[in-house]
Structure 1
Amino acid sequence: MADRPVPIVEKRLMDVKLGELSRWITGRDFTPNGILASLRRGHNRYYNKYINVRRGGIGGVAMMLAGYVLISYIWEYDHLKHQRWRKYH
Structure 2
Amino acid sequence: MTEPALAPRSAFTGVIVVWAVAFVAAVAVGILVAEEWRIPWMLVAFGGTVLLSFAVQLWYGRTDGFILRVAGSVLGALLLMGMISVGFGLAALIPA
| TM-score, normalising length: structure 2 | 0.30
Identify, as 1 or 2, the structure richer in helix: 2
Could you say which structure has the larger radius of gyration?
A: 1
Q: Identify the structure with bigger relative contact order (alpha carbons < 8 Å, sequence gap 6+).
A: 2
